[in-house]
Chains A and B, each alone.
Chain A
């Protein structure tokens, strides 16, 4: 069916795949009409898509180092953009973001700006230069540019702290979705999620992760956009929601005023009844309800964090050229934009469909017993994601008497808006794809750093290829299990851990990476001081704030990266200037990195 090289056939292969997936959705829709149960549809969606990813993972198996670490450096620009988008958009983007906007409105949308604006930094400051360098991992760049095992080790430590915080959140997300869709307990579902993640990455490393991520992007974007368009059209809100929801946004503001948003406060005793993790609507939807600094500091942390997270950066090591790396960043952001610009629209539609008394789906103002009898309410109440209670005893549901989990906005809205169940199954598959693709990238980033930078470069430089790749795989499994074990404890919510990961990465890696390219005078001593000092300062601030310290400059536990990275910058500059300038060979190396043509600094096999 497909002649010639695999790479040349990519558009055909993924075109066929997309067509096949749409046919599968239609078949499921027909099966639903024929009376297939909702539960079975959910199982089919999740199981079918995960099996396809596992198949791609198996077909991409390899025993070559450059295929395992950087997918053979032959991933075309647009496809790398798709893979990066899937790598990037995690369970937090897919499942939690629309929910955040739903509950917190404008103040929360700093994340949309931060998680996209960071790509400008990636494209202009780092990606093309690191691609020219020819490294396998991010610590590989730090270790070679600054020289010495200490710099390499420090980079591995920061990378591990940041990525591990992130990956537990993603395994938690796969577990949540698997437990809802497959109807198994969360503690077991976490390991089912882990097994699917490992199947994608273990045999083929970066090559396998690349081609599964492209497949996962296609599933997740269909799963996000289809319901948004469908609900919008069904509600008569507009054929193209992104351009046509202005009236709905205005209508929400009107309803918020009418229902007395923010005027009626719940008493502490009332709030005690609400199950943990659920929140009510307390902030206006489109009004500016946050201070500029709060908005900007969060956006800045997310942007600098984006540019320092190794699992994103290493995707640009897989392009065929420096030029392709640069363009590929643009494509990544384009594919991310498709989902991010839809999240506020989904939040708007979801909010309106629950609030507007003129719509059949509106529940505010209805009697409590009536709401409690609704099918979808019972389902999601059972899953611990929805709750109503008559605090004032008047028998009607008020705005402050309705509570919902953040995840429910994406997962439950199709059902609330009265879409067929097949859409809910599709959304579950999309959430699974988003969380799995990010978890794969992260687990691989950590295990590659440990196997390449610690084992091969520091412990056993004479190890043969076969042995290196076996070590890499053993580490991959171990890290996956460690992540799953911690995820099963559920210490911090999905979104909180993700934001922390950005702050950790920013604290330790942002300035050492950027100055490595843009400041020739930066040396190993400075970089080590910057990485470790930044990480320690940031973590110390986080721990202090968590244990009751009020903090300064309005920096919270979500933005502690500001403190960490400033300490890192100051230490790095001061220590670099106090110690010897890097030798001539290093300076020449930096000059080499700055021009796209010529040989890579590190050879094809290293």
Chain B
């Protein structure tokens, strides 16, 4: 496998992991809205379903994007594909 293929292979793996986490917190958990509401886990005292829609999932997305960006930069560095002029 050429260097470029390996790079793309790793990039794709990272995409799958990122999208899997995204799927869980944007779609997966909302199949269980009623169960979340009844759950005894109450972050900061809010019902879990309410908390996830107004803060939980949103915050996780922010962290997920920065995590993704860091991982992708590492992959690009590993294969020497980093841009020369950086900001």
Q: Which residues of A contact B (CB under 8 A)?
A: 76-77, 106, 109-110, 112-114, 116-117, 119-121, 123-125, 128, 242-247, 249-250, 286-288, 290, 292, 295-296, 299-300, 303, 319-324, 326-327, 329-330, 333-334, 337, 340-341, 343-345, 591, 594-597
* Cross-interface CB contact of B85 among A243, A320, A326, cutoff 8 Å: A320
A326 proximity list for chain B (CB < 8 A): 68-69, 72-73
Sample of 14 further A-B pairs with CB below 8 A, known A124-B18, A323-B83, A327-B66: A106-B53, A117-B25, A120-B26, A120-B68, A123-B68, A124-B15, A245-B46, A286-B46, A299-B30, A303-B26, A323-B73, A330-B62, A334-B62, A595-B4
Q: What is the number of contacts between chain A and chain B, taking CB atoms within 8 Å?
A: 158
Residue on A nearest B65 in the bound complex, by CB: A330
B69 proximity list for chain A (CB < 8 A): 123, 323, 326-327, 329-330
A242 proximity list for chain B (CB < 8 A): 55
Q: Decide if B57 touches A286 in the complex (CB within 8 Å).
A: no
When chains A and B are docked, how far (Å) is the Cα of A321 from the Cα of B86? 7
Residue on B nearest A347 in the bound complex, by CB: B54
When chains A and B are docked, how far (Å) is the Cα of A160 from the Cα of B42? 45
Q: Decide if B22 touches A287 in the complex (CB within 8 Å).
A: no
Docked complex: B2-26 residues within 8 A CB-CB of A: 4, 7-8, 11, 14-15, 18-19, 22, 25-26
Q: Decide if A292 touches B8 in the complex (CB within 8 Å).
A: no
Taking A243-B44, A595-B81 as contacts, is the C-beta distance between A76 and B37 under 8 angstroms?
A: no
Q: Decide if B50 touches A120 in the complex (CB within 8 Å).
A: no
When chains A and B are docked, how far (Å) is the Cα of A376 from the Cα of B11? 57
* Cross-interface CB contact of B84 among A125, A249, A597, cutoff 8 Å: A597
Q: Decide if B86 touches A323 in the complex (CB within 8 Å).
A: yes
When chains A and B are docked, how far (Å) is the Cα of A333 from the Cα of B66? 10
CB-defined A-B contacts under 8 Å, sample of 11: A106-B33, A106-B53, A112-B54, A119-B65, A128-B72, A246-B42, A299-B30, A324-B86, A594-B7, A595-B81, A596-B83
B49 proximity list for chain A (CB < 8 A): 106, 286, 288
When chains A and B are docked, how far (Å) is the Cα of A579 from the Cα of B17? 33
Residue on A nearest B17 in the bound complex, by CB: A124
Minimal beta-carbon separation of A84 from chain B (angstroms):
12
B78 within 8 A of A: no
Minimal beta-carbon separation of B61 from chain A (angstroms):
5
Taking A123-B68, A292-B33, A322-B83 as contacts, is the C-beta distance between A299 and B26 under 8 angstroms?
A: yes
Q: Decide if A337 touches B62 in the complex (CB within 8 Å).
A: yes
Taking A300-B27, A326-B72, A341-B54 as contacts, is the C-beta distance between A120 and B83 under 8 angstroms?
A: no
Question: Counting chain A CB atoms within 10 Å of each CB, which of B26, B57, B58, B84 scores highest?
Answer: B26
Instruction: Give the 8 A-B residue pairs with the shortest CB-CB distance, closest first.
Output: A246-B45, A117-B26, A109-B53, A344-B54, A330-B65, A288-B33, A120-B22, A286-B50
Q: Decide if B61 touches A120 in the complex (CB within 8 Å).
A: yes
A300 proximity list for chain B (CB < 8 A): 27
A244 proximity list for chain B (CB < 8 A): 44
When chains A and B are docked, how far (Å) is the Cα of A384 from the Cα of B86? 53
* Cross-interface CB contact of B61 among A116, A344, A597, cutoff 8 Å: A116
